[in-house]
């Protein structure tokens, strides 16, 4: 077992991968107390030359690097799972390949962990880097809703973390298919300490997330962490019942006191409102049903197609 493993998911990073891996390697070699480490790079089904670069250039140059290729793009969370599954070290650091997570922080995180007493060292964003107003607003709105619904506070959290072996082993016992790394690692607890970092400019390539994939991630993580939307449906139903009861009484009184019941517009409006809320409610229930369906299929989170050290560990 190594002392330290670094897990890096990559997806179409051909323009930056060599520079970023060399930087991380150089940083790791500078750490005095660290003798043995491994770099696990998970190629998340890249369609550019990323895998070729990893296999033919980076792996032969450094024996510490193990590159694993997933059979298609499974998403960053699945790639992280693959990395954590393979990592065989007393401490595991998870980081991005685009140098937005400063490699210089590895030393600091590693030292905090070595001092003992801390199971998770998390890097939190001091600022959100050079993001557009829109994306920082949506991120903030999402975290606000998420922490209200799930009780897990993720503001300024990042996927840049050091985890003790104990945490990784605990992580591996979580069976769900819909993985939300930040939320699940916050949920696990353990002793944690934070170090701050400033998000660097994304260099070389563009972000792999678009608005639609972010909305999907937000929905998945809310549905995975909270059943509050379901309770909301119940609450809405209850308020409609109370409202209709009051309205029914009023109408009955009006009927018996001889006042003609008018208000075709009101009826149409009510129909639309109720029809709309029923459909939304069904949609919310469907959202959970879809998650349940995903989970009960029990498919693996990822499929490995290539591994530069295939015989080192057998994946289960």
For binding to ligand UDP (CB under 6 A), which residues are involved? Answer: 9-11, 13, 44, 73, 75-76, 79, 96-98, 100, 207-209
Interface segment toward Mg ion; rule CB under 5 A; list 11-19, 99-107, 187-195, 217-225 = 99-107
Q: Which partner from the list Mg ion, ligand UDP, none does 17 bind, CB cut-off 5 to 8 Å by kind?
A: none
Minimum distance from CB of 202 to Mg ion (Å)?
5
Compute the distance between CA of residue 193 and CA of residue 109 in angstroms, rounded to an integer: 9
Q: Which of 220, 119, 100 is nearest to 171 (CA)?
A: 119
Least distance to Mg ion from the beta carbon of 209, Å? 8
Output 10 or 229, the one with its CB closest to ligand UDP. 10
For residue 110, give Cα distances in angstroms to 11, 41, 234.
26, 19, 48
CA distance 141 to 118: 30
CB of 96 to ligand UDP, least distance (A): 4
From the list ligand UDP, Mg ion, none, which binds 190 (C-beta under 5 to 8 Å, kind-based)?
Answer: none
Q: Which does 277 bind (CB under 5 to 8 A by kind): ligand UDP, Mg ion, none?
A: none
CA of 12: how far to CAs of 62, 77, 204, in Å? 21, 16, 11
If the CB atoms of residues 12 and 229 are measured against ligand UDP, the closer one turns out to be 12
Q: Beta strands 161-164 and 304-307: pairing type?
A: unpaired
Q: How many residues bind Mg ion (CB under 5 A)?
A: 3
Minimum separation from the CB atom of position 171 to ligand UDP (A): 18
Residue 232 makes CB contacts below 8 A (sequence gap 6+) with 284
Work out which of 13, 85, 98, 122 binds Mg ion, going by CB under 5 A. 98
Question: How far is Cα of residue 288 from the mean position of the Cα atoms in its chain?
Answer: 18
Sheet with 89-94: strands ordered across: 192-197, 120-125, 161-164, 89-94, 2-10, 37-43, 65-70, 304-307
CA distance 27 to 107: 8
100 vs 220, beta carbon nearer Mg ion = 100
In the bound complex, what is the minimum distance in angstroms from residue 158's beta carbon to ligand UDP?
8
Strand-strand pairing, 192-197 and 2-10: unpaired
Q: Which does 208 bind (CB under 5 to 8 A by kind): ligand UDP, Mg ion, none?
A: ligand UDP
Q: How many CB atoms lie within 10 A of CB 54?
A: 27
In this chain, which of 20, 50, 100, 220 binds Mg ion, going by CB under 5 A?
A: 100
163 binds, among ligand UDP, Mg ion, none (CB under 5 to 8 A by kind): none
CA distances from 123 to 65, 155, 192, 291, 299 (A): 23, 12, 11, 30, 32
**CB 147, min distance to ligand UDP, A:** 19
Query: Of 9 and 183, which CB lies nearer to ligand UDP in the complex structure?
Result: 9
The strand pairing partners of 164, in sequence order, are 91
Closest distance between ligand UDP and the C-beta of residue 207, in Å?
4
Q: Give the footprint of Mg ion on this chain (CB under 5 A).
A: 96, 98, 100
């Amino acid at each position: 077992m190594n002392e330290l493993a670094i897990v890096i998911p990559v997806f179409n990073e051909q323009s930056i991968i060599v520079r970023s891996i060399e930087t991380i390697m150089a940083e790791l070699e500078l750490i005095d107390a660290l003798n043995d480490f491994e770099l696990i790079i998970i190629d998340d089904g890249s369609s550019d030359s990323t895998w070729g670069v990893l296999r033919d250039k980076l792996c032969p140059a450094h024996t510490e690097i193990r590159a694993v290729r997933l059979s298609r793009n499974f998403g960053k969370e699945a790639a992280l799972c693959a990395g954590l599954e393979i990592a065989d070290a007393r401490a595991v650091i998870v980081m991005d390949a685009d140098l937005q997570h400063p490699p210089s922080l590895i030393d600091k995180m590693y030292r905090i962990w070595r001092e003992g007493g801390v199971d998770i060292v998390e890097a939190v964003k001091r600022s959100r880097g050079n993001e557009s107003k829109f994306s920082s607003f949506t991120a903030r709105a999402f975290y606000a809703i998420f922490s209200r619904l799930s009780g897990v506070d993720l503001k300024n959290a990042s996927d840049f973390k050091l985890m003790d072996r104990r945490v990784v082993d605990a992580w591996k016992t979580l069976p769900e298919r819909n993985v939300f790394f930040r939320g699940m690692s916050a949920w696990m607890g353990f002793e944690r300490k934070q170090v701050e970092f400033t998000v660097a400019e994304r260099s070389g390539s563009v972000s792999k997330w678009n608005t639609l994939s972010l909305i999907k991630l937000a929905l998945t993580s809310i549905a995975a962490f909270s059943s509050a939307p379901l309770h909301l449906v119940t609450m809405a139903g209850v308020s409609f019942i109370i409202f209709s009861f009051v309205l029914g009484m009023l109408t009955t009184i009006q009927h018996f006191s001889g006042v003609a019941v008018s208000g075709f517009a009101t009826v149409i409006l009510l129909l639309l409102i109720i029809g709309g809320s029923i459909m939304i409610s069904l949609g919310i229930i469907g959202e959970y049903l879809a998650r349940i369906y995903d989970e009960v299929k029990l498919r693996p989170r990822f499929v490995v197609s290539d591994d530069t050290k295939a015989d080192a560990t057998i994946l289960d």
